[in-house]
A and B are shown apart, each in its own frame.
Chain A
């Protein structure tokens, strides 16, 4: 089985987010980057599948050279080789077009992504890749098994579980439960030094969106606690301060 796992390079979950003075860019100084945690789940499941029945796992990242350490970590965890498409990931459509362009010639049985990246949380790329390649895509799966040329997927839905089958090739986005991410071992780190990391140039993609600006959430306002037996005070505050009645 030949599996492509798409990984994003995202700020660590504990990062303190700051924007530039014009609110158009993220301030990246001092930020530690990691593999998008949902992508790591997808990578781990891909490794489990190929360890059980043979095959290769290629990781793909759309990014500039600064993402190489994140790709090397994926190789240390166990991926066979890597592809970096040498461009900043502008938006979901741009990324999906790059992935689809590479995958179209890669003859992959499975294309896995995380359910969303934890920086922009767009959750669009997997479905777009499926559409661009004209193959099925199933999003936010907590289980993935493969039997011959068919996959079985489980999704959590309101009040229950949905079981889906789909033929390969297939795009799947992963969420918690599909696999438990692994910590690389020293052998993996050492072998990652020499595993292939192929850098390819991006295909041209029209710019469909542009960032107008960023804002942080408004800080929460102060909570006024009113004694339960002072209803008049509560009504007065709602009227004069909150101005809702």
Chain B
């Protein structure tokens, strides 16, 4: 990829809504992405390789569990800080942000929120430091948008549980040391368990042939009579609200992350439109290109305001799941539309790895589907405003 000349758009001077510490954290992650991610990410995607060497750096900049309390190795930061970190990571690549999202919101969050004190002390510091990576097992081959239909199950065998079933589309699965897995008990109640690599009968085959999130490892979790010690059960939650609580946190981060991808596409398209000349002048001077650029910055600005407000509400524990759904749905779709328009502004160059556009666009095709599809989030909003369930 060409040199990273990214300049973040801030059309409504939204920096003034952030604290000095927010800006320091954001600028730190931005500088780290420019230095460590941008030079290597295109090749990693082309080769479909997860850049494992970045895990230590991700931990050092605080990308793993930024809102987890300091005593457990987290950053003790607020939700806007978490969002800004996700924004800057996804500005680099959605795959990288996915790794951090999963670690923070889908592994550390449930252990902190639903786990015992022993579980917190055992797992959280190692996850925060990047010594261990984790993954999250909810989606199954036949149960995506309807997780309540899951068939993965546990049976109580006295001093341990026996776990059977399979999960798929699991980020970080191929190399994760632990998995937070959701399974039904003998009464059909969904429970969370921490499954560790090395437990007999637990395998994590990698998913190959992806055209999206190519710099992030995806796999399956297969449980064949895995004996899980009873102390690995998350004691403080029962039912679907457990995994949905995790998804709320992750979706919040995604709503910020998508802005990062959109900003990168817009910034590249804006610069290209000023440098690329046709008919004797820069293409940015033509109305059709200006329409695209003007609409992009309008949508980015709206999304920035949306997430900032959502961050304030989340800091006050007032953000509802439906509000988070709206932000995730709106912002990811916004980013995908901007990536497509930016691709057109770049002309043929937009399909090459010289520019980040095509990579972002392909990544966002996953992001618009995972953690609640675009359609499902619409139904969540629909149910929230009408009180009528249209899911089934």
Contacts and interface: CB of A to CB of B under 8 A. Distances in A.
Interface of A: 14, 30, 32, 68-69, 72-73, 76, 183-187, 189-190, 192-193
Contact of A14 (B7, B20, B25): B7
16 contacts: A14-B7, A32-B15, A69-B23, A69-B24, A72-B24, A183-B28, A183-B35, A184-B28, A185-B28, A185-B60, A186-B25, A186-B62, A189-B24, A189-B28, A190-B70, A193-B21
Given A187-B60, A192-B24, 17 more contacts: A14-B7, A30-B10, A32-B15, A69-B24, A72-B20, A73-B24, A73-B27, A76-B28, A183-B28, A185-B28, A185-B61, A186-B25, A186-B60, A186-B61, A186-B75, A189-B28, A193-B21
Q: Which of A14, A30, A186 has the most CB of B within 10 A?
A: A186
Main secondary structure of the interface of A (DSSP, over half): helix
B62 A30 contact: no
Contacts of A189: 21, 24-25, 28, 62
Contacts of A187: 60
A189 B31 CA distance: 14
B132 interface: no
A30 B11 CA distance: 10
A72 B25 CA distance: 11
Contacts of B13: 30
A73 B7 CA distance: 20
Nearest to B7: A14
A43 B70 CA distance: 27
A187 B35 CA distance: 19
Interface in B1-46: 7, 10, 13, 15, 20-21, 23-25, 27-28, 31-32, 35
B257 to A, nearest CB: 18
Contacts of B32: 183
Contacts of B10: 30
A193 B13 CA distance: 25
Contacts of A185: 28, 60-62
A184 B7 CA distance: 20
Nearest to A184: B28
Contacts of B115: none
A186 B74 CA distance: 9
A189 B66 CA distance: 12
A76 B66 CA distance: 16
A232 B104 CA distance: 73
Nearest to A12: B7
Nearest to A69: B20
Contacts of A76: 24, 28
Nearest to A193: B21
B76 interface: yes
A185 B35 CA distance: 14
A32 B8 CA distance: 11
Interface string B67-90: 000100001100000000000000
Contact of A190 (B27, B31, B60, B76): B76
A97 to B, nearest CB: 29
A84 B50 CA distance: 44
B24 A186 contact: no
A79 B96 CA distance: 30
